[in-house]
Structure formats: structure tokens, C-alpha cells
Amino acid sequence: MSRESSVIVGAGPAGLTAAYELGKRGMTSTVLEASDQVGGISKTVNYRGYRFDIGGHRFFSKVPLINELWHEILGEEFLLRPRISRIYYNQHFFDYPLKPMNALAGLGPLESFLIGLSYIKAKFFHIHDEKTFEQWVSNRFGYRLYSIFFKTYTEKVWGIPCHEISADWAAQRIKNLSLKQAVRNAVFGARQGMDGSTLTSLIEQFHYPRFGPGLMWERCRDLIQRQGSQTIHGVKVERVRHRQGLVDCVQGRGAAGESLEYDGGHFVSTMPLRDLVQVLDPLPPDDVLKAAQALRYRDYLTVVLVIDRESVFPDNWLYVHSPEVKLGRIQNYKNWSPYMVPDPSRTSLGLEYFLWDTDEMWTWSDERLIELGIRECAQIGLIDPRDVKDGTVVRMEKAYPVYDQVYQESVDRIRRYLETFSNLQTIGRNGLHRYNNQDHSMLTGVYAAGNILGDKRDVWSVNTEKEYHEEERATQPNAGDRLVPTCVAVSVDMADAAVEEAENAVIEGAFARIDPLALGVAVGAVSGAGIFAASAVLLLSGGPAPGPTLSLLGNYLFGFDVTWPGAVIGLFEGGLVGGAVGALAAGLRNWTLRLYAKIVQWREGRDDRRHLLDKM
């Protein structure tokens, strides 16, 4: 292979996007994939004509470039689908996002009242140093609602107690808007994207490929092949050779057990960080190996049941919060797209179980897992076991990088070491050990391709706070230049920056804190000096009874009258009273603005909080 070519490990969304972007700019790639399918966790499995996902994948992004790429690759194969989902808990189905009257009917008035009290308590006894997921959610919903609607499901997904899950996970998946951003949206209106759409996380409809998300990546693979690149299946990478800060080649084993070697000028890895570190040759220092071994990954399997019924339930998916079953979530693939089933008189359900690959259940036979799925699905009243006509099982290892209390330190150490290689980049969900959505994984692929071609983009910056809340700018090198001509994009970006700077100046001026002491001193000085000056003018003007009206201040200032001693008393007492009034006014003004800002910020983040389960 040419030393000018790139070797990309992994044919998921990140790896294939990187190869596709390189191909459009004239550089060929070799994509190595261990399995017999492309798409990674976004693949679509076909079992006797019944198609199903590894989880559900809605196609919605705040990054205009990714929306453009999706339509560029897939063309007219997108469907616009309605979103319906519910929670099963305590033998009731609750609308999700939660709706007050529906929740009240399911929980009952007493439980609803206790949830309200718990929420009020959380507002008054806020945990300021949020270190765990439990603290993060309890702060926003109250502990009682957290324990009912979040704790059990979250622990099913992650396999560890919520007090061991890092608050970083929630902070990344459910972004807290900055005060400045929240106020800007409230005062000036939400900033719109290049396509004119307002940024929002609330979507009651979403795009979905006709035959599942795997169709996207099969098309992308075909486009890459037409560009002169290749995707090789069945290659398990066993060694990444390097020397003097450069990767030389990737060595692996093919499906038939043969040894394979691929060299190139640039290398991109979507492998789990833990695996990548362990196949480096020579091995990295012990502290890096130890950091890699500390990283954990949650595994996943889905039991697919073919039901001899035209319709089972109306939802796209259900969350199963009841602790009496192992089942975590149920996908109704027919409601994602009617083309996912070959027979419209039947329905296929995906029963999702979240496991460690060391769990005994992970090694159960398909037959035993199907029996478990039928039993649990019947237990919650969704199916009659006699209606089940067929079933299969699909396992996905390392589906979710785990955000425990030590992961961040481990990732930082590994990242510092990998950055010593000048021709190696890691991208994607597992390549960054970041729980990215499909669109963010694709964006890391775009960045990596751009870096190979001379850009300087930080793939680790994708899906940080700023990236999430602001659409990707069309002026980024080699990212948005296909959206609009470069000169126009630069002008638009400069104009946006100028408007934003002006808005920031207004916000910062309006919300600048007034120092109570400073305002108190200023008001006090003016008040005291004003009383003294008024008294002095009346006394100097003479007369038998100077200033009877001004003398009324004696009712408020002890010892004051319109005499020279009284003027001095007015100077000091007026200064003290004016100082107190000024300080109080500043304090009230600051408190009122803080309260307003909190309300605005809460409203801005409300939709994300309402959709918390969607982020898991």
C-alpha cells in the first residue's frame, strides 16, 4: 500500500466518515473491520428479512455538516417518523417525557405529593459539589423522583450504583447551558442555524433510514470503494508497530487465521482505548498500561422476538424500570420503519439487556436467552407467549464506555501518551472513551480526515459544552466549505461573531453585579451631604424660623433640626441611612437578577432534562 495512504481501524460511523472525507479529496484509505458488517453499533442486522438495530438510532443533529453528510450519502431513503415512548414502572405505563396528569394518575396523589416535597427540598438543600450521577439528577428532580424514574433503569444500563457513576456523564449528555447563552436566547431569541432552524433538543419527530441505520453505512462503504479505497472485513488487529513517535504499520489476523500487515503514512483508530494501548508495539510505559486497564465498557445484547400480531404497542420504544425483570428497554422496530419487517401482519420486538461480558448470562445459549425474553415480556403484560413465532440474539461487546469515578484520569493519561505520535489519531465513541452519539462520532472522523490533509483540528473537542450548544460553523477548514462559498462563510461567521459580541456586552452590562458597599457609600455620601447643604443654605439665608419643612426630617433622624449642630447630625445620620438604603437596593437588585437568570437557565435546559433517559 502507498505510504501516502491512510489505514483506518474500524468501519463504524467515525472510521467510514473519515475514509469518505479523505476520498472526496483524493486520498485513498484501507479500512480494517473485525466483523463481517459495517456500521459498528449503528449497524442493522437482518434475520430472515426482519431488520433490527443495536439499540435505536434517531437521525437528528445540531451540526449542519452532519445533516448534509447524511443526506449526501443516503439520498431519498430517509423517512420522517413520529416519536412515541413510555416508561413501564410498577405495573403502569407512563408517558415519556413525563406529563403531569399522566404521572399523577399512575403514581397516585400521595406519591406525587411526596415527590413535590422532595423536589422542594432539593431546591433548598442543593448539593453544590456534584461528583456523582445520583447527586446530579437529585439536584434537578429531587431524590424521590430520581429513585423512581432514573435509578433502577440507569443501574440496569451501567451495571454499577448511581453513586459510582461520574457526574461528568450527565454533564456531557445533558448540557447545562451557560448563563450567558440562556439569557441571550431569552432576550435576543435563540440563535438559528445555517438552515434557519432554531437549535433545540426536543424532537417529537426524527429522520430514520427506510431499512435502518445500517443502510447508511453500507452505502458509505460502497461510495468509499468507488473512490478507490477499500474496506476489508474479518481483520482482527493484534499489533500496532511504532518507533520514534511514528506508527509504521498495523498487523493483524484475517478470518482464515492468516497474518496480515498494512502500512501507510497516516493511521486512524476507532478501537477501544484499552485495546489500542494493549496492542502497541513496543508497549507504552506501565502507568499508561495501568490507566488503560482501568477503563471499563458495558456490553449489550438484544433478544429479537417475531410476534404473530400486526401491532403490539404504539411506541417506538419502552423503558422498563421495574426491578423485577432484567430487561432494560424494548424496541418496536416496525414503528421505527414499516420496512423493517417483511410481513406487515407480524411485529418484531428487540428486548435489550445490558451486561458485562463476564456475567454468566452473557454466555447463555440463544435458546435460553429467548426463553428469558419471552417470559419477561409476558410478565409485564405485553405479549402472549403463544404468539412468538421466532427469535434470535445479537451480542455487542464494548457498546458503552463507562464513566466511573476514575475514568477521566485514565483517559487523560492515555491521551497525553498517544499525542506523542505524529501520525496516529483516535476517533469515535470508543476511540475517545466518550459516550458520543452517531453525529458526534462522524464529526470526529471529519476532523481526523482534515488533520491528515493539513488542518489542525482537535478531535477531542467534539461534543464538549460549546460544540453541543452552537452549531458547527461553516467556516471550519475542510468541514463546512461545501455548504457555502468560503468568502461568504467567513463573512457570515464574522457577522455572527460581531452580533454575539455586542449581545454579550449588553448581557454583561445588564447583569453586572452592583457592589452593595460601593453603592451604599455613594448613596450615603450624597444623602448626608445633601442634608447638610440644604440646612446650611437655610441657615445662611436667615429668618426667625428657617426650614420648617426640612425640620420634618427630625421625625426620622434622631436629634436633627435646622441648626448648625443639627446639620452635622444630619450629615452623619443621613449618610448612615442613605448607605443602608443603597446597600439594600443593590442587594435586592442583584438577588432579583440572579433569580431571573436561574429561571431563564432552568427554562433553557428543561427539554434536555425532560429527555434524560434518551441520553442513556
Provide the CA 369 distance to its chain's centre, in angstroms: 32
pLDDT at 603: 65
| Alpha-carbon gap, residue 196 to 387, rounded angstroms | 48
More confident residue, 146 or 504: 146
| pTM (predicted TM-score) | 0.75
Residues in Cβ contact with 176 at an 8 Å cutoff, skipping those fewer than 6 apart: 465, 601, 605
Between CA 20 and CA 326 the distance in angstroms is 40
Of 383-387, 520-524, 600-604, the least confident: 600-604
Query: How confident is residue 557, by pLDDT bands cut at 50, 70 and 90?
Result: confident
In the predicted structure, residue 479 carries a pLDDT above the cut 60: no
CA dihedral 334, 337, 340, 342 (to 10 degrees): 80
* 575 or 428: which leads in pLDDT: 428
Per-residue confidence (pLDDT) for residue 523, from 0 to 100: 84
pLDDT of residue 611: 65
Residue of higher predicted confidence among 334 and 96: 334
Report the C-alpha gap between 505 and 461 in whole angstroms. 26
Instruction: Based on DSSP, count helices (H) and strands (E) in the chain, helices before strands.
Output: 21, 20
pLDDT of residue 202: 37
Residue bearing the bigger pLDDT, 401 or 141? 401
A 10 A CB-CB count for 456 gives 8
**Cα gap 591→81, rounded to integer Å:** 45
Could you check whether the bond before residue 97 is cis, i.e. omega within 30 degrees of 0? yes
**C-alpha cell, 487:** 468568502
Output the pLDDT for position 56.
Answer: 84
Task: Please say whether the beta carbons of 57 and 42 come within 8 A.
Answer: yes
Q: Which of 75-89, 171-185, 268-282 has the highest mean pLDDT?
A: 268-282
Predicted local confidence at residue 587, as pLDDT:
85
pLDDT per residue as tens digits for the range 86-103: 999 988 898 887 777 888
Question: How confident is the model over 25-29, as a mean pLDDT?
Answer: 94
Give the separation between CA 193 and CA 172, rounded to whole angstroms.
Answer: 21
Structural domains in the chain plus CATH codes: 6-79+205-294+406-481 (3.50.50.60), 175-202+484-616 (no CATH), 297-401 (3.90.660.20)
Q: What is the pLDDT of residue 204?
A: 78
- pLDDT confidence of residue 233: 96
Average pLDDT over residues 567-592: 84
Number of Cβ within a 10 Å radius of residue 189: 9
Segment 409-419 mean pLDDT: 97
Contacts for 488 with CB less than 8 Å, ≥ 6 apart: none
Residues 163-180: tens digit of each pLDDT: 988 887 766 655 544 444
Tell me how far apart the 2 most distant CA atoms of the chain are, in Å: 118
- Residue 200, CA atoms < 13 Å, CB-side half-sphere: 13
- Return the SS3 of 253: strand
